[in-house]
Amino acid sequence: MQCVNCSFENLPGAPSCARCGSMLQLSEMCVEPPRASKGRVATRVRQVWYPLRDGLGRVRVSRRKLTLLLPEPVSRSALVWSIIPGLGQLKTSRRGLGWCLLCTWLILLLLTLVSLGTGWHFFFRNLVVMTHAVAIVSLFAASLSYYGLIVRALFGLLVFVGLSLLLYRPVGWACSRAYVLLPVPRIGANDVVSPGDVLLYQGPWARPESFRRGDLVTYRIDHQQTSGYYIRAGFGLDRVVAVAGDHVQLAEGRLYVNGACPLEGEGPLAALPPLDELELDVGPGDCLILPTCLDVTLFAGHAGNQRVHQQLIRSVSVVAEDDILGFVVFRLRPLKRFGSVR
Amino acid sequence: MPGRFANLEFDHRQRHAEQRELESRSQQCTREEAAASLLAQANDAYHWGRFESALRLYTRALKEERTLIPAWVGQVQILVQLDECHEARVWSDKGLELFRNNGELLAAKAQACARLNDAKSASACSDAALAAPGASPWRWIARGEMLLARRQKFAAECFQKAVAEPAADWFDHVVIARIHMHYMRVTNALHYLRQALELEPTHGYIWFEMGNCQRGLGLLPAAAQSYQRCLELRADYVEAERALESLSDGSSLFARLRLIFGRRRRP
């Protein structure tokens, strides 16, 4: 029996060629090809399965190299170092690109911090994330060259969103728990804080347990409305005048705490409210903060009413320590007054 | 006693044997002729894009002559054209059981694997096809398709090499054009069809394919002209008539958009 493929003379009755392995029993062979069902299910399933199989086969995390669904391996240490943009490139001996990315990122980060409280902050923050994303995507450049523009763009977008959600948002949230940004839009005239200032106050994680006299604090004000005045819910900003156990007296336009005038830097930020007389003891867990800078709306006809003023001041100035958000530590804007507030 | 010369006197037996041999030879000849004729018909049907009838004719040719490699390759190619890629792969494996390491069959299997997105097998089959003895445009076409499926830049070079082969004819250009159409590279397909027209300007199917390309590009008047030209060359070509009708039906904006964006579907 001669093989049709290689013409080798095989023994009669042999099922396959001894030389090339081709089938010899031609008469038994079916020549009708198999046909697909109408939906081509087998073909469609395999068209999805084979790329998946190839992709899964590439996920190999070894000690030195991390291969992540990509044809070219990416250095794992470079990826880890890329928590700071540019360091991954410096690790993989691309010094020029690494330094360029690192410097750009640092400059943009600085601009982001400086622009806190302005409209530019959002823009610079996104540029920072974008620079970081570029640094990471450039590590995958060799692998991404195998793919089309859409895949590369999607990968970049994915990295950007991933960094934004998994790195920058958590870091931003943690920072806001430690120090909180406070833009001051409207405030009464005083020497320390002006309208338009952007301040930083201590957030819940950095807030002290108790406060001292003279601490410049921001505190929560609840909505209040009586027959004479109306206070909108919001935040107040002033110095702590007296703490728990202190006796406060306001007589003839002068303030006395425990019988003595407060020292300089311990009194209210602005001039005292126009009250004839006020006397009270600060209870435990409370502080006294005279709302000298508070913008309060008085109803018509009550502007000169002493009783209404007294009622207003009593209701606003005694603040529970829990309602104090934190003390103000830093001024970010205006830039010429950049620095510590205390 | 049978006699010791009994064995020498076998004239009549010898005559019978010779007669049987002659008969089997003539039968063999007629079968080979029939197979060749069926193969030619199948190729013709394939060249006119009538895949179902081409597949039936290839099968009939194989029933006559099971060692007809072009029929095996043709069957696999047509299964791929009919989008039955899994079946094409199974069938190419069957063919390879009979013809181990046959370059044409390996190339056909590479094409089926490429259409199934099985890049590894496609690459391996294409490598084996090129390493197998012999050379043909089809092997380079399959190689080009494999690279095109993986969006690699050397696909164009492979197609160039295919059409530069001595055995290359107009239909190889059409095959390359169809591959480009499959991967939505319609302008490249048009380029190869123009080359095919230079080689064989009187074949209607090239004009029909050109019409499909132009329709895919949204050049509806040009497509209509191409279909018209196809019908001039072969008046009974129903597919061109249908395509022309669908073009004339597609005068509304929605139908035009459907024609442009639904270009994967062939008439």
* Nearest Cα residue to B114 out of A46, A36, A149: A46
Cα-based angle A327, A332, A333 (whole degrees, multiple of 5): 120
Residue B4's pLDDT band, with cuts at 50, 70 and 90, is low
Lowest mean pLDDT among A6-10, A251-255, A258-262, B198-202: A251-255
The reply to whether residue A22 touches residue B116, judged by beta carbons under 8 angstroms, is no
Compute the distance between CA of residue B149 and CA of residue A120 in angstroms, rounded to an integer.
45
Residue among A314, A308, A302, A294 nearest A231 (CA): A294
- Per mean pLDDT, which range of A145-154, B80-89, B104-113 is the poorest? A145-154
Is residue A62 scored above 50 in pLDDT? no
pLDDT tens, residue by residue, B86-122: 999 999 999 998 888 899 999 999 999 999 999 999 9
Minimum CA–CA partner of B112 in chain A: A43
Whether chain B has a CB inside 8 Å of the CB on A23: the answer is yes
| Inter-residue contact A132 to A105 (CB < 8 Å) | yes
CB contact residues (below 8 A), chain B span 47-106, against chain A: 55, 59, 62-63, 66-67, 75, 79, 82-87, 90-91, 97-102
Give the closest of A20, A47, A148 to B116, CB-based: A47
> How far, in Å, CA of A218 to CA of A330, rounded?
13
Cβ count within 10 A of residue A314:
12
The model's pTM is 0.52
3-state SS of chain A: helix, strand, coil percent to 5?
Answer: 35, 20, 40
The more confidently predicted of residues B28 and A132 is: A132
pLDDT at residue B157 is higher than 90? yes
pLDDT higher than threshold 90 for residue B33 = no
Share of chain A above pLDDT 90, in %: 13
Asked if B63's CB is within 8 angstroms of A33's CB, the reply is: no
CB contact under 8 A, A148 and B59: no
Say whether A148 and B151 touch across the interface (CB within 8 A): yes
Q: Which ipTM did the prediction report?
A: 0.80
Which is more confidently placed, B27 or B35?
Answer: B35
At residue A321, the pLDDT reads 84
Of the partner residues A17, A26, A43, the one whose CB lies closest to the CB of residue B86: A43
pLDDT digits (tens, 9 = 90+) for A309-325: 777 777 778 888 888 88
Chain A residues 166-225 with a CB less than 8 Å from chain B: none
Q: Give residue A298's pLDDT band: very low, low, confident or very high (50, 70, 90).
A: low
* Contact of A58 with A71, CB cutoff 8 Å: yes
pLDDT score at B265: 43
pLDDT given at position B17: 66
Instruction: Report pLDDT digits (tens) over A174-233.
Output: 988 888 888 877 776 677 777 778 888 888 888 888 888 888 888 888 887 777 677 777
Q: How many residues does chain B have?
A: 267
Confidence band, pLDDT 50/70/90 cuts, at residue A64: very low
pLDDT of B266: 43
Contact between B98 and A22 (Cβ < 8 Å): yes
Q: Is B241 exposed, middle or buried (0-12, 13-18, 19+ CB in 10 A)?
A: middle
In this predicted structure, the answer to whether residue A287 has a pLDDT above a threshold of 50 is yes
Q: What is the mean pLDDT of residues A245-259?
A: 83
Which pLDDT belongs to residue B128? 94
**Domain residues of chain B, as ranges?**
43-154
Q: Is pLDDT above 60 for A277?
A: yes
User: Does the pLDDT of residue B256 top 90, yes or no?
Assistant: no
> For A129-133, what is the mean pLDDT?
94
The fold for domain B43-154 equals 1.25.40
Beta strands in A156-240 (DSSP E): 179-183, 198-202, 216-221, 224-225, 229-231, 234-239
CA count, 13 A, side-chain hemisphere, A321: 16
Rounded distance between C-alpha atoms, residue B215 and residue B261, angstroms: 10
Give the residue, B5 or B168, on which the prediction is more confident.
Answer: B168
Tell me how far apart the alpha carbons of residues A2 and A10 are, in angstroms, rounded to a whole number.
6
Residue B267 confidence (pLDDT) above 50: no
Which residue is listed with tokens 């005694």? A318
For residue A170, cis peptide bond before it (omega within 30 degrees of 0) = no
**pLDDT at position B113:** 95
pLDDT number for residue A70: 56
What pLDDT does B66 receive?
Answer: 86
B-contacting residues of A 107-166, CB under 8 Å? 146-148
For tokens 């950049």, name the residue: A338
pLDDT for A267 beyond 60? yes
- Which B residues 202-261 touch A at CB under 8 Å? none
Whether the CB-CB separation of B172 and B166 falls below 8 Å is answered with no
- Please return the burial class of A63, using the count of CB atoms within 10 Å of its CB with bins 0-12, 13-18 and 19+: exposed
Closest-CA residue to B91 (of A35, A45, A43, A42): A35
Residue of B nearest to A22 (CA): B98
